[in-house]
Amino acid sequence: MKYLYFILFIFVVTFETSFAAREHKHFIFLVHGIAGKPENFGSLKEILEDQKSYLNINETLVVEKFKYNTGDNQIDVNKIALLLSSFVDEKIRANGGIRNEDKISFVVHSQGGLIATRMLLRSAMQDVRYHPEYLNNYFSMVTLGTPFWGSKIAIAGSKVKALARMLGLDILNFFGNTQLDDLQVTSPAVDELRALLLEPYAQVLMAKLQEQIHFVHVAGMPEALKWLRPFVTGKNQFEDDTAVPLPSTQLDFSYYVENADHKNKAMIYPEDFFETAFTREDNFYPVSAFHTAIIKESVKVHGIAYFPQKCLGYKYTYCPHPALVPVVETLFGLRKSKEPRTDFTSFAFDLRLRFKGKLLSENEQKKLKIKLKPLLATTKIGKPGELYKRVRRWDSNGEYRLYHTGFIKQVDSQEGLVEMRITLPGYREKRVQIPVKKGRTTHLDLTLLK
């Protein structure tokens, strides 16, 4: 009989040991931005382990830092997304594979958010290169200062780098040419993401993903630069983290697209526009932080993705870094302990204008007139001193691109209205009443008819 008890004892010990060893894992991938590196997240890995103990979270954290070459002049966001997908698969396999109860999350900074978003969408579309077998394990994604709809400062960066090349200077070599160009407002990469998200199929997929995945977008509004607000969008704050304007950091947008499903109209009204619903409204967190850390271990001046050592040894709610609360609560699925800020005022809109018929000559292009005016007293368009408040260009397809910023003065109103009048000799005039919204972009894809 004693042998039977001994065998049972060995079985129980083996079972419990095996069960403990197979405690569910939470893979958390940190993805840096352009000109960045894994160290740009500071002590986040250690802080998360620390908070797991404080909160008695019953899971094994596997925090992995993805590194890619931001100075490579050939690769773009899509190629890096493939590299990230392979990295995720490699790390999961190296840690014994994945089970149904295991989780996968992402904390991503700047361009890293564009990379992870593309990877996630392609995975949801069952592209085998992006390992859709892990799709059901995705749990959360926190973006930190991600320029979904482009960055204004990237325009200046591209110009400076081009000038340096002409002068034979080897500077800014940590900014890859293609990556830097893709980050600009109205860039082909912005168009590609917008077109992808406008596909009905993609919108259905995103709606399903939203039910499963906790998306949170954190934007920077450094209060230390409040005195510089005349030079950026917004009224009350510096509504730009020094690299990304606040409306660009939220994935959701309003849109009107003229295609086979829309009759080409001479007058377009606000009710003709649609809105995406990829994330919940309260998952947009503007915080007082810079795009990058100026003083890394400072407890007053914060980089949006750099988490200082001083946050170790304290419960996350006592850490002075303003982004740690949404990061911890999103990754661990906790109930929110603080409401997001709502004192922002800025908006942006962008236009893609096509022309029915042949490509316009340079002389015809010069005759295109676009006039803008606010239709509400509380809606303001741009500022006299604001850099790149209006970006205009003709692309290689002969299409006209326009990006414009503005802000809404009224505290208790979220929405504004801007009128756009488009004229070109030989083409029908078009007028649009553009609905704009605090913290969002509005997209127009229009065609002028002969």
- Give backbone dihedrals phi and psi of 43, rounded to 5 degrees, phi first: -100, 25
What is the CATH class of 26-251+286-331?
alpha beta
Highest mean pLDDT among 111-115, 293-297, 382-386: 111-115
pLDDT (0 to 100) of residue 4: 46
Are the C-beta atoms of residues 110 and 34 closer than 8 Å to each other?
A: yes
DSSP-assigned beta bridge partners for residue 149: none
Confidence band for 19, pLDDT divided at 50, 70 and 90: very low
pLDDT at 9 over 50: no
- CA 21-38-64 angle, to 5 degrees, is 15
CATH of 346-448, one of 2.60.40, 1.10.287, 1.10.238, 3.30.160: 2.60.40
Every domain of the chain and the residues it spans: 26-251+286-331, 346-448
386-406 pLDDT tens trace: 888 999 999 989 999 999 999
Where is average pLDDT lowest: 103-112, 202-211, 283-292? 202-211
Confidence band for 260, pLDDT divided at 50, 70 and 90: low
CA 87/CA 64 separation, integer angstroms: 9
Q: Which amino acid is present at 43?
A: S
CA 216/CA 323 separation, integer angstroms: 11
Where is average pLDDT lowest: 159-163, 215-219, 427-431? 159-163
